Amino acid sequence: MDYNFTDIEKKWQQYWEENKTFKTVTDTSKPKFYALDMFPYPSGSGLHVGHPEGYTATDIVSRYKRMKGFNVLHPMGWDAFGLPAEQYAIQTGTHPSVTTNKNCDTFRRQIKSLGLGYDWDREINTTDPKYFKWTQWIFSKLYNTWFDKNTNKGRHISELEIPAEIKTAGTIAVREYIDSKRLAYYDNAQVWWCKTCKIVCANEEVLNDGSHEKCGTKEVERRNLKQWMLRIPHYAERLLTGLDGLDWPEGVKDMQRNWIGRSTGAEVDFKLDGLDKNLRVYTTRPDTLFGATYMVIAPEHGMLREITADGHHEQVEAYVKAASLKSDLDRTDLAKDKTGVFSGRYAINPVTGKKIPVWVADYVLIGYGTGAIMAVPAHDTRDFEFAKKFGLDVVCILDPVSAEPALREKVLKGEACWTEDGAYINSENTATGLSINGMNKATGIKTVTSWLEQKNIGKEAVNYKIRDWLFSRQRYWGEPFPIKHYENGDIELADEKELPVMLPELEKFEPGTNGESPLSNAHEWLYGEDAKGKFRRETNTMPQWAGSCWYYLRYIDPTNDSAPFSVEAENYWMPVDLYIGGAEHAVLHLLYSRFWHKVLFDLGIVSTDEPYQKLYNQGMILAFAYETKSGSKVPSDEVEEKDGNFFHKTTGEELTQIVAKMSKSLKNVVNPDDVVKNYGADSLRLYEMFMGPLDATKPWTDTGVKGVFNFLTRAYKFFADTKNIISGQEDPEILKGLHQTLKKVESDIENLKFNTAISQFMIFTNLAIKKGKVTKETAETFAKTLNPFAPHICEELWQLYGHSGSINHSPWPLVNEAYLVENTYEYPVSVNGKMRFKIEFPVDADPKEIEKQVLLDEKAGKWIENMQVVKVIVVPGKIINIVVK
RNA sequence: GCCCGGGUGGUGGAACUGGUAGACACGUUGGACUUAAAAUCCAAUGGCCCGAAACGGUCGUGCGGGUUCAAGUCCCGCCUCGGGUACCA
């Protein structure tokens, strides 16, 4: 009974394909289970071993749930818009759709070779006009939605009430007012521009070191461009509170919370000396108002000109210009050195009545709060640094009572900064009636805020870090916006009947002039005329996020031509019950997608407020790599192993084994095709799951695959050999092992702990082989239980046992607890906490009796003679601990 | 800097809610089979110590303290690796 995995796998993959074993129909009589993988970008290099990790996990759960009687939706598709195919088009002239289709074919072939049970009739592709028609349709919905702060919901733009004064100001004012409320808008924006990619990038896509995440170059600069933006901050609060009810890793939730960045504080108006105007600031520490010794406004602040006093304009303008030209490198880490200039203007501190200088500095950001701050150098590290550099007053108003005496001394003298709690000092003004002296931080904040509200110079306020989402790109290979720009400057959506707005055919894919998208070269496509007049089409395309924002909704009704999906199907299938993918999408994709979903929910298009009920991140699969003492990396084919040590083949230098990302340069890339060829898909699946916890980062080893391959071979040789399969009564030990396995595997699948489930299969197989014979019933139960993990081999066994049809449609076996009942328990006995010996008692033995018996036991004698027994602790079913002196 | 995760044999990892640390597997060693090798099968395998052996001792879950009858698990203070984030007032 050789384990001929190649034939077995080919045979069953063909069977599944021909019989559409995994086809899903919407059948509301059954409970549903929606298992979703983060769909891949089909790159030219094909699948790598990281992809199947998550896919196998959802496949195991899907097969298990199906056998448990659920109607399972487990689809796959392609996130196929993207830069690489377009770059390739520029170089070779090959149309991106050709490249994309080829890559999709490769991915599909590879995925099918892994035996993953997808319903291929539901395959989707974001570049398919039948798909992106609805991406455009959703964009239209965003464009025509505004966020009603009163009801905390998005509503159709036609329901927006126009204030009377706007109405009287005329149609342009009305139009501007409406546009200022739309969730999607077209406006000038300070954006990052990548000179290499010739594309704008969202803030999120520019990494900390000033490089572009897509191409890795540092050719990123600031530009002011007309762009499409989405008002995701309007949903900040909903996106934040929505997280609470989700079964997601806490880390991912934290990352989203940090990204949204909610803070509470107060807005405070400061009178400007010599101007009949106020300067409004946002602060989270209104309690430190007594310590505000100067103010700072951002260089881009709207009141800058007004505020700057005569004689200071020149320096201020020079500073503003320098700040605007700061390169990406200047903005990052080392350049934290603060700069700024005095505006010549003073403001009045409302609680002290003192005049304080107003400075201009770029450490204050225009996009956050009001773009202006009150500076409290004694209790804010940034302000402290700035004040020290420019010789500004530092007034301590909070005594750091808990600090070390030396530090406290310095803080009190204004020589150090203290941001923690303490007791207020110097925080009293009899003229205004405000005193917080002696209070702590929490009461101080409350007291000052209500004082500000009473005096009508400030109020409690909430701020979010999250910014508007830059939603356009200057590329060909993306969804066109369904937008027309008319000659008079009006912007209109294409009519729903005109969707999809197709991409024009192009010969050349180079960007247009001035960095405009290649679409600007498609003259025939570009210009048109309709009832409203002559127009030019929008030449920007949507970012790659667009297609992935809603793909989970298309899977539920993928061929619908009249709607993105039917109401019934959506009602039945949503939300996604299990979503597995890489942690790299913890913020952006998942946040964007939740945002769209919430808008669709508000518009009544979907029935759930959140799309993904349970989320899980698979860990990265790494590989071993080698480096010299000096830390330089050595390609794996240059390394040889001797007695567990590693040496450079040519130089003979001893190398250290490290764990690194798979890369072509390190020559440590593992191709799933090779693994399938050498060990089979079942082994690949099993190994990916056996390596360790699903969410852990772990290194690939070929010997590890061999381990699970050995297991499958042993299992197949035993269970496929009819001589080992008997009829009659099963051995009680086998029965117990089988049901232990069943129980463990079931709970492990539910908890996504596949590595320990597989270990249990190994334990049981070892037992069965040792025993030499099992009943047919046992063998069948084993095959069914193993099926979600190693489906090909299990179909083969199922057929061998005389069944027709797929094992996937047989019911999941039930655990019989009766086989697991134990009469006795072998107690480990510790003496002073150290395990010394074991002793058996009936499971229902009385703890008092156990205590008595254990002290009389001869094995205990050695440990307690000449000792005083202080007490004996008996934890029934667990342990006995004897405490002696 | 701040926010999250990790750190257990030679290796990947296991350990329920505080209760036998090292399941399962790889590797290694020894043996069987073979002319030989591969494959396969059997056995041993955390370190140290004593011993012929033991169901002997002892140390041991990154480090230092603590709580507890009992700590890989809880608490305090560190070290270190990985991820996220970065002047967000």
Eight-class DSSP state of A388: H
Would you list the DSSP string of A51-87?
HHHHHHHHHHHHHHHHHTT-EEE---EE---SHHHHH
* DSSP β-bridge partners for residue A78: A125
Can you give the pLDDT at residue A211?
Answer: 67
Tell me if A507 is assigned to some domain: no
Nucleotide lying nearest to A385, CA to C1' measure: B87
Contact A1, A720 (CB under 8 A): yes
Q: How far apart are CA A452 and CA A35, in angstroms?
A: 52
One-letter amino acid at A433 equals: G
Residues of A 644-703 whose CB lies less than 7 Å from any atom of strand B: 644, 690-693, 696-699, 701, 703
The mean per-residue pLDDT over the stretch A363-378 comes to 94
Residues of A 521-580 whose CB lies less than 7 Å from any atom of strand B: none
pLDDT-derived band of residue A382, with 50, 70 and 90 as boundaries? Answer: very high
- The yes-or-no verdict on residue A16 having pLDDT over 80 is yes
**A681 CA vs B34 C1’ separation (Å):** 32
Can you give the pLDDT at residue A221?
Answer: 72
Domain stop point among A438, A463, A488: A463
Query: Within 7 Å: CB of A835 and strand B?
Result: yes
CB atoms within 10 A of CB A392: 18
Query: Within 7 Å: CB of A740 and strand B?
Result: no
DSSP count for chain A of H helices, then E strands: 29, 39
3-state secondary structure A572-585: HHCCECEEEEEHHH
Q: How do A294-297 and A355-360 pair as beta strands? A: parallel
pLDDT-derived band of residue A334, with 50, 70 and 90 as boundaries? Answer: very low
The CATH number given to whatever domain includes residue A434 is: 3.90.740.10
The mean per-residue pLDDT over the stretch A339-363 comes to 95
Q: How far apart are CA A811 and CA A742, in angstroms?
A: 13
Residue A733: partners with Cβ closer than 8 Å, 6 or more residues away = A767, A771
Tell me if A83 is assigned to some domain: no
Contact A201, A212 (CB under 8 A): yes
Tell me if A798 is assigned to some domain: no
Contact A759, A687 (CB under 8 A): no
Contact A343, A297 (CB under 8 A): yes
Q: How far apart are CA A281 and CA A267, in angstroms?
A: 6
Residues of A 209-238 whose CB lies less than 7 Å from any atom of strand B: none
Domain count, chain A: 3
Strand order in the sheet with A869-875: A834-842, A824-831, A879-884, A869-875
- The yes-or-no verdict on residue A184 having pLDDT over 60 is yes
Residues of A 709-728 whose CB lies less than 7 Å from any atom of strand B: 710-711, 713-714
Query: Within 7 Å: CB of A847 and strand B?
Result: no
Q: How far apart are CA A374 and CA A278, in angstroms?
A: 13
Nucleotide lying nearest to A644, CA to C1' measure: B10
Q: Which single residue is written with the structure tokens 């009589």?
A: A29
- E-only strand ranges, A393-442: 398-399, 423-424, 428-429, 434-435
Q: Which two tokens stand for residue A767?
A: 């037992």
- The yes-or-no verdict on residue A881 having pLDDT over 70 is yes
Q: Which two tokens stand for residue A215?
A: 């191409």
pLDDT digits (tens, 9 = 90+) for A507-562: 888 887 777 889 998 989 999 999 899 999 999 999 999 999 999 999 999 999 99
Q: Which single residue is written with the structure tokens 């081999």?
A: A793
Q: Which two tokens stand for residue A814?
A: 């039930």
One-letter amino acid at A87 equals: Q
pLDDT digits (tens, 9 = 90+) for A33-76: 999 999 999 999 899 999 999 999 999 999 999 999 999 999 99
Domain assignment of residue A327, given as a range: 263-463
Q: Which two tokens stand for residue A756?
A: 């320990």
Tell me if A322 is assigned to some domain: yes
What is the SS3 assignment for A514?
A: helix
What share of chain A has pLDDT > 70, as a percent?
Answer: 96
- E-only strand ranges, A615-733: 615-618, 621-627, 633-634, 639-642, 645-648, 654-660, 698-700, 725-726
Q: Which two tokens stand for residue A146?
A: 């505004």
Eight-class DSSP state of A95: -
pLDDT-derived band of residue A335, with 50, 70 and 90 as boundaries? Answer: low
Q: Which two tokens stand for residue A592?
A: 């964007």
- The yes-or-no verdict on residue A743 having pLDDT over 90 is yes
- The yes-or-no verdict on residue A442 having pLDDT over 60 is yes
Would you list the DSSP string of A134-203?
HHHHHHHHHHTEEEETTTTEEEEGGGPPPPHHHHHT-HHHHHHHHHTTBSEEEEEEEEEEETTTTEEE-G
Can you give the pLDDT at residue A6?
Answer: 94
Tell me if A59 is assigned to some domain: no
Query: Within 7 Å: CB of A315 and strand B?
Result: no
Query: Within 7 Å: CB of A259 and strand B?
Result: yes
Domain stop point among A463, A485, A518: A463
The CATH number given to whatever domain includes residue A852 is: 3.10.20.590
Cβ-count burial A321-346 (b if 16+ within 10 Å, e if not) = eebeeeebeeeeeeeeebbbbbbbbb
Residue A673: partners with Cβ closer than 8 Å, 6 or more residues away = A46, A47, A110, A113
pLDDT digits (tens, 9 = 90+) for A814-855: 999 999 988 888 889 988 888 888 888 888 888 888 888 888
- Phi/psi for A16 (5° steps) reads -60, -40
What share of chain A has pLDDT > 90, as a percent?
Answer: 72
Query: Within 7 Å: CB of A251 and strand B?
Result: yes
Nucleotide lying nearest to A837, CA to C1' measure: B55
Name the burial class of residue A833, with classes exposed (0-12), middle (13-18) and buried (19+) by CB atoms within 10 angstroms of its CB: exposed
3-state secondary structure A241-287: HHHHHCECCHHHHHHHHHHHCCEEEEEEEEEECCCCCEEEEEECCHH
Can you give the pLDDT at residue A333?
Answer: 45
pLDDT digits (tens, 9 = 90+) for A667-708: 888 999 999 999 999 999 999 999 999 999 999 998 899 999
Q: Which two tokens stand for residue A276?
A: 């009949």
**A835 CA vs B53 C1’ separation (Å):** 22
CB atoms within 10 A of CB A664: 9
Q: Which two tokens stand for residue A719?
A: 């269970």
Tell me if A628 is assigned to some domain: yes
**N residues, chain A:** 885
Can you give the pLDDT at residue A639?
Answer: 78
The mean per-residue pLDDT over the stretch A367-385 comes to 94
Q: What's chain A's average pLDDT?
A: 91
Q: Which two tokens stand for residue A611?
A: 């799309």
Tell me if A876 is assigned to some domain: yes
pLDDT digits (tens, 9 = 90+) for A462-503: 999 999 999 999 899 999 999 999 998 899 999 999 999 999
Helix ranges, A274-325 (H): 304-307, 313-325
The candidate with the shortest Cα–Cα distance to A483, out of A830, A185, A271, A150, is A185
Query: Within 7 Å: CB of A263 and strand B?
Result: yes
- Closest residue to B42 (CA to C1') is A770
Q: Which two tokens stand for residue A145?
A: 């939605």
As ranges, strand B nucleotides with an atom below 7 A of a protein CB are 3-5, 10-16, 19-21, 23-28, 40-42, 55, 57-58, 69-71, 82-89
Q: Which two tokens stand for residue A463?
A: 């701020």
Q: How far apart are CA A486 and CA A212, in angstroms?
A: 34
Domain stop point among A463, A498, A516: A463
Tell me if A631 is assigned to some domain: yes
